[in-house]
Every structure is written in C-alpha cells, then in structure tokens.
Amino acid sequence: MFAITWREFTSQFKSIRSIIIILFIFGVTTGSAKLISQFEMQLKDLGLGDNAYVGGLMLLLFVASPLFVTSISHSIVNKEVDSRTIRFLATKTSRQNIILGKFLGNFLFWMFCLVIALLLIVPFSHAFYFSEFIQSVIYVSYFIGLTLFLSTIIRNPSLTMFLGISLSIALPIIGIWGMFTKNFIIKSISYVTPYFYYTQDHTSYTYFVLIFTLIFLVLSLMVFKRRDL
Amino acid sequence: MKALSTKDLTKKYGNKTVVNHLNLEIEKGSIFGFLGKNGAGKSTFINMITGLTLPTSGSFEILGEQGDSLHRVRHRIGVLPDYSTFYENFTALEHLKYYSRILRLSLTTNELKEILKQVELEDAINVKTKNYSFGMKKKLGLAQAIINKPELLFLDEPTSGVDANSILNIHTLIKDISAQGTTVFLTSHNLDEVEKLCDDIAIMNKGTIQTKGSMHQLRREYQDNISVYIKHDSISESKQIKLRTELSSLVKNMKVASDHLELFVEDESVIPKINNYLVSEQINIYRLEVEEPSLEEIFLNLGEEKFSA
Ligand SMILES: Nc1ncnc2c1ncn2[C@@H]1O[C@H](COP(=O)(O)OP(=O)(O)OP(=O)(O)O)[C@@H](O)[C@H]1O
Ligand SMILES: [Mg+2]
C-alpha cells in the first residue's frame, strides 16, 4: 500500500497542474500575508488582528481547494482502469491497498501543501495555526474522498473531470445557500456538504466532516472490489 | 497437490455465458497449455483466477487458498494478463522497482537488471515504455510476472507479437522457470509452442473444456493415422505385389515403391509386426520413420468432429 501511496505523492510533484496549484497557493499566501502586514494597525482596530493572516488562507482554501483537488485527482482511479495499467497492480496487491494507497498519497500531498502554506505565514504572524491546519486538512479530505469515489464509480476520466468541477462549484453554492433558505431539498443537500459544519458556532462540528470522508472511502472500496479490471 | 482447481467457475456478461461451469485441475510443477479459438473464454478464465475479473458463480482454489482469499497467495503468483499497459513515462527499470516495492520484495537494482536481461531487455532498461515496441512490452510484461519467482505463473499469450529469436528465448526461459518448480499456465495460438512446452493441455470452446489431458493421452485419443515411412533395398515387381497383399491386413493405407514404403497405421502396435515381416522376407531396412500426429492435427480433428457441431 505504501508503495502506491509514495508513488501517488511523488507523482504530484511531477505534474504541471499540481505545480501550478502549489505555486498559486504559496504565492497567494505570501502575497496576502505581506499585504495584511502593511495594514496590521488598521486590522487590529477592526478586531481582526493576527487572525487576518490565516483568515486569508482559509478563505482561499474554502473557495478554491475543491477545484484544485478535483482538477488534480479526478482521474486518480479511472485513468489507470481505463489505460489498464491497474492490471499489473491488481495482480500484485489487494484492491483495498490500491484504493487506500491512492487516497493516502493524495491526502499526504495536500497535508504537505497546507503545512508549507501555513509555514509561509509564520514569519508574518509569528505563530503556526495548528487548529486551522487540522480543519483545513479535514475539509480537503472531504473533497479527496468525493473525487476518489467519483473516479471509482465512473469509468470515463473526462466525465469525472467535468462532474468533479461542476460539483466543486455547486457544492459551496448549495452549502451556503442552505444556511439561508427554508427549501427542504437545498437544506438537506447542504447537510452532506462540509459547509454546514464549517459555519456552526462551535469548531468541533467540523470533525463530523471526517465521517463523510470515511463514507466516501468505504463506498469507493466496496465499488472497486466488485469491479472487473 | 493441485496448484489450481476450479469448481463450476462461470462468467456471464449480460446473458452471454463466456465461461460455463468450468472444472479444471492443474498439477503442481506442470506446464499447462490452454488452447481455444478467439473468444473461447481463455483470458476470461485466467482473469477470474488472478483476481482481475469477478466470477459470476462457482469457486476455485489456488495454491491451497480459496478464491476469496486470493490476497494471501498473491505474492506467490505471477501474471501476464491478456491486455495491460505500462506507465508511458516510466522506464522498464522504474516499473520493476515500483512493482517490487508493491510486492515488498527487497531486490537490488542489479537483481532487477538481471531480470530484464533474462527477457532480453538489457539494452532498453532506461528507455521509457512509451518508446517500446509491442514485443518489448510483451517482454517487460513477462519480466514483471516473474519478478517474485512465483510458484504459479500465468502467461496469457506470452509470445504473440514476439520475433522468432525472442520466442525461442522465451521458451527457454519458461522451461528454466518450470525446472525450478514453478507451475506454468499458458495460453497460446501457436500449437507448435504448446506441443513443445506443455505437459498437459486443455482445449476450450465456447466457455467449456472441449478436451483435456496430457499430450501423450491426446495423441492416442485423437490420432487417426500414424504415418510410417520405410526405406529399404530395391525389390522386384513381384515382391512388391506380395508385400501389398501381405501388409493389407495390417495397415489402413499404403504406397509401395521399389525402394520404400509409405504406410498409414491406426495403432502403433502393428509397427513391429511390419518390421518383422520385412526382416523375414530378407528385405534390408535403411530407415524407419514414424510420424506422430501433431497437436495441429488433433486440433483440426476436434474442429471437424465437434467444433462444427
Ligand atoms: N468486458 C466484457 N464485456 C462483454 N463481453 C466480454 C468482455 N470481455 C470478454 N468478453 C467476451 O467474452 C468472450 C471470451 O473472451 P476472452 O477474451 O476470454 O477470449 P479468449 O479465449 O481469450 O480469446 P483470444 O484467443 O482472442 O484471446 C468473447 O466473446 C468476448 O467478446
Ligand atoms: Mg485471450
């Protein structure tokens, strides 16, 4: 399993798409941190203080990371099934190891990106925002799980690309819409998006989102085990 | 003990039954040849046994484990599946490194290079597989299948698309692997190859086993004629006529010439009788050739008798 994890992880650094995304995140993070540091006094007056540094990063992740995750990982499983490179793997290790290995590899990649992004603001804020780190990891894990699931149930890589991007635009909209509407359908859907949990007063709600990640993972495993490769 | 045994193994695609209640046993240590026309279900069978495709019903036991516990014996099995590809931007060596890590083998780079040398890829070790020819990919496929020194090796058409010299090399490799105790299960459309390599064979047709047995058994079962060629002294016209009448009860068909005989016999037990007769007639024999039916003849016989039915 860890051989697959390691390959998934390292291959991200060889893909142009991931490199652009990494540079984008790191660029925006340091850029906004610099900007904020110039207005430190004014922000303190507004009561935003040190949180402003990490706040910018969190907002960026909140809005853009679903798109980033789907665009990097949309074909995590079905590309290999489609090209049949998966066959050599499947004769050597269990299907469970393939799915878990791929999930973990992508998960590690995002952990790595988030740690670096948060470290980049340390020089400005003089603090590592640990709880924000955990929350953003959980948030991203939801989308990794969702993308993995889509990539497992749908055989066509370009279809998962399209669906993934549509969902990563639609889910935030529905999630936030659900907070304000009384429409039953929208509200029910918003409960399965992370946004509902991330907008509660108490941050411990965010841990519920891990359950969804787990559900996606288990569903992917179940589907993948029954698949002819 | 059996390396593999299946019980009513079945695969359906929609309402089309591709492998139909198949029961097959493979002896440990043998080289087993699996024959059959295109679409007979050979690859589907292998894919089920190796965990690539899920059986619709039935069960199998592989190296002493039930099919649902296949993961327990995976590291003892090697597979070259029918259709599979490599990562385009990986070299042969990178592939083997990755696969050996997945199998948790601690092979050194030199050991991996040695495996690539065995399949004649030593000149292309660091070439990306997108620049590989079809035959080279086949060889790499073979290399990845033997990387773990498997006890049971499945090779789905290991030599199709491979040049003549390389085929000979692959045959030697398969024999060497078999000599080390590995059970080999291979499919092929090359009857000479199967005849040369395999101890036991099964012929599959429309999802079922048409016939199976050792090469020896099948020859006996399906041979119509054994052809016997005898070169001898020149004999007179009258002696030729005598020969013809005397032998007619023993052989099915014959051609008598002044210095040779071409006979077709049904049973090899008559060959010594013919020989004795010629000796008693004081005819000197220079050469006696017996030609057994080839697998191709058996295959064709089967085709005429049963495939068309
Ligand atoms: N995924 C699939 N969906 C539907 N039918 C399939 C599928 N895979 C194989 N088949 C059908 O199953 C039958 C057996 O195919 P299989 O590949 O096992 O044959 P084979 O004996 O290996 O033939 P060949 O000698 O050409 O390799 C064929 O009729 C094929 O069309
Ligand atoms: Mg086939």
Q: What secondary structure letter does DSSP report for B52? A: S
Above 60 in pLDDT, residue B306? Answer: no
Q: Is A156 on the interface with B (CB under 8 A)?
A: no
Residues lining ion ligand 2 (Cβ < 5 A) are B 43, 82
Residue B191 in 3-state DSSP? helix
Would you state the pLDDT for residue A49?
59
Q: What is the pLDDT of residues B46-79, one digit of tens each?
A: 999 999 999 999 999 999 999 989 999 999 999 9
**A158 vs chain B: nearest CA distance in angstroms?**
19
Q: State the Cα–Cα distance between residues A87 and A84, nearest whole angstrom.
A: 6
Residue in chain A closest to B102 (alpha carbons) equals: A3
Domain count, chain A: 1
- Write out the residue limits of the CATH 3.40.50.300 domain(s) in chain B: 2-220
User: Cβ of A154: how many Cβ atoms within 10 Å?
Assistant: 19
Query: Which residues are CB-contacts of A56 (< 8 A; sequence separation ≥ 6)?
Result: A28, A29, A32, A33, A36
Q: What is the pLDDT of residues A70-126, one digit of tens each?
A: 988 888 999 999 999 999 999 999 999 999 999 999 999 999 988 888 888 888 778
Q: State the Cα–Cα distance between residues A199 and A192, nearest whole angstrom.
A: 13
Above 70 in pLDDT, residue B223? Answer: no
- Write out the residue limits of the CATH 3.30.70.2470 domain(s) in chain B: 225-292
Environment class of residue A64 by beta-carbon count within 10 Å: exposed (0-12), middle (13-18) or buried (19+)?
Answer: middle
Phi, psi of B35 (to 5 degrees): -115, 165
Q: Is A179 on the interface with B (CB under 8 A)?
A: no
B207 in ligand 1 pocket by Cβ < 6 Å? no
Residue to mutate, B43, B47, B209, ligand 1, most ligand atoms under 8 Å from C-beta:
B43
Separation of CA B143 from chain center:
19
Predicted structure pTM score: 0.85
Query: Could you tell me the fold of the domain covering B225-292?
Result: Alpha-Beta Plaits (3.30.70)
Above 90 in pLDDT, residue B157? Answer: yes
* CB B197 within 8 Å of CB B172: no
| Residue the block writes with tokens 């509660």 | A200
Would you state the pLDDT for residue A183?
84
Q: What percent of chain B has pLDDT above 70?
A: 94
User: Cβ of B201: how many Cβ atoms within 10 Å?
Assistant: 26
Residue B85 to residue A83, Cβ atoms within 8 A: yes
**Looking at per-residue confidence, does A30 or B126 come out higher?**
B126
Nearest CA to ligand 1 atom 25: B38
Q: State the Cα–Cα distance between residues B33 and B54, nearest whole angstrom.
A: 23
When pLDDT is averaged across residues B113-125 and rounded to a whole number, the result is: 94
**Looking at per-residue confidence, does B55 or B299 come out higher?**
B55
Above 80 in pLDDT, residue B4? Answer: yes
Q: Report chain A's mean pLDDT, rounded to a whole number.
A: 87
Q: Report chain B's mean pLDDT, rounded to a whole number.
A: 90
Ligand 2 centroid – CA B156 distance (Å): 7
Q: What is the pLDDT of residues A129-178, one digit of tens each?
A: 888 889 889 999 999 999 999 999 999 999 999 999 899 888 888 888 88
Above 70 in pLDDT, residue B303? Answer: no
Residues of B in contact with A84 (CB under 8 A): 83-85
Task: Mark out chain B residues that contact chain A at CB-CB < 8 A.
Answer: 47, 50-54, 71, 74-75, 77, 79, 81, 83-87, 95, 98-99, 101-104, 144
Query: Which residues are CB-contacts of B19 (< 8 A; sequence separation ≥ 6)?
Result: B9, B10, B11, B41, B44, B45, B48, B55, B207
Above 60 in pLDDT, residue B305? Answer: no
CATH of the structural domain B2-220, one choice from 3.40.50.300, 1.25.40.420, 2.60.40.10, 3.40.50.2300: 3.40.50.300
Of the listed ranges A74-83, B7-16, B183-192, B213-222, the least confidently predicted one is: B213-222
Q: What percent of chain A has pLDDT above 70?
A: 95
Residues of A in contact with B101 (CB under 8 A): 3, 6
CA A39 to each of CA A35, A124, B303: distance values in angstroms, whole numbers, following the listed order: 7, 12, 88
Separation of CA B131 from chain center:
30
Above 50 in pLDDT, residue B20? Answer: yes
Above 60 in pLDDT, residue A56? Answer: yes
Identify the domain containing residue A49 by its residue range: 2-225
Would you state the pLDDT for residue B307?
42
Query: Which residues are CB-contacts of B27 (< 8 A; sequence separation ≥ 6)?
Result: B2, B3, B183, B199, B200
